[in-house]
Structure 1
């Protein structure tokens, strides 16, 4: 397969401080990425053509097609016209189960639920992570968010992609993945974590986007008990995290953040509480 670039140079006209000039800007590439199982296409996502083995692994995990790396036998990335076909070979029992309940979905970057067939699929049960014992200090919350902001080379170049990171207390940020789609970035991260042999319960997920319900679902399926974001959550995301026993931290910027669920996992280290 020929190498596909993740960025391109775009000509532009810039108006800044009342001055108009010609210029160029690096922008991220966005291509159709198909996931095929047993030779049949299962899903097509628009995404950044990087870390595709991680993407396929994480997607397979968060879609419930696998529960561990051992259930994937092979991943092959093929170029198909203007897009990519990521062919995943599952263990035989998983292939049989997939054929029995196959569904198709295709959607734009901003929609991680496009193509599902029922309300029940959208509101799927979320794993209970209430028993996972991780405690972070307020300083570690800030450390995790700040580390993610400075560990995104594609975003630094383009200012146009989302990031997802995995932070382990005492070790720091051990993995970061980027994509034009926030759901894609989290799937890539989930794949990177389990491909490295680590467990989701060992750390917390940090993202640069808002917290929708599917971000909570994906983090819980990975097994992480805490989700930290720089933006705000939806009401459904809060209810889902509460029910799953997940700590939801949002609007994490600098030393400030807001906790919406299960705050007992965080040592606030406040001088005084203001009622």
Structure 2
């Protein structure tokens, strides 16, 4: 026969069960707090990555002239261009066993990267656009191009990685990198507009326009060289991309303004 339980035993059992319930409740609250923090981090990174595209469209005359259709067409052209590049990369490049810089492979990547220039040429010259000016056309094309690039290359890593329990700055840096890519894409579209649509540009500026377009088009190979050959870390590469994008935007703006002046 079991001995009768005394009041102290009942009190001890009650305290133990209460402690277990409280511990489970605290663990549940901690998990909910972690989930909220990871989603908050994801939304912050997503806004940093994709928000500037919406801000640029709303803050410029692009929204007034309803150029969204042009941006969507440019995004579709980018997706087709990316598919062609993927096939070319899979066909002509070999899988590297290490992460070292291979000049031959990077040269092939740079040449394949000029497919983007061909895609921009198609988007600027062959697509039917609404009755918009040349200034608005290249901005709309560059905006759609950059947005499609961010969705294709950064949305999935953000969704998988930025919702992790371990905080990292990499996804914030990816957002900054997307902003630099936005500026570079619009700059390249502006240079392409000068090359293919502007007929009466000064002859002295033609080599500068083509040289700047070549630099912007080969930026992926340049950053690959900085990472693999010089050993730059991701924050340093992003800083370089951001600085280069601002410089190229200033040069493109100056070239565009110079080509719009009436020739003497």
Larger strand percent: 1
Q: Which has the larger radius of gyration?
A: 2
Larger helix percent: 2
Q: TM-score, normalised by structure 2?
A: 0.23
Q: Which has the higher contact order (CA 8 A, sep 6+)?
A: 2
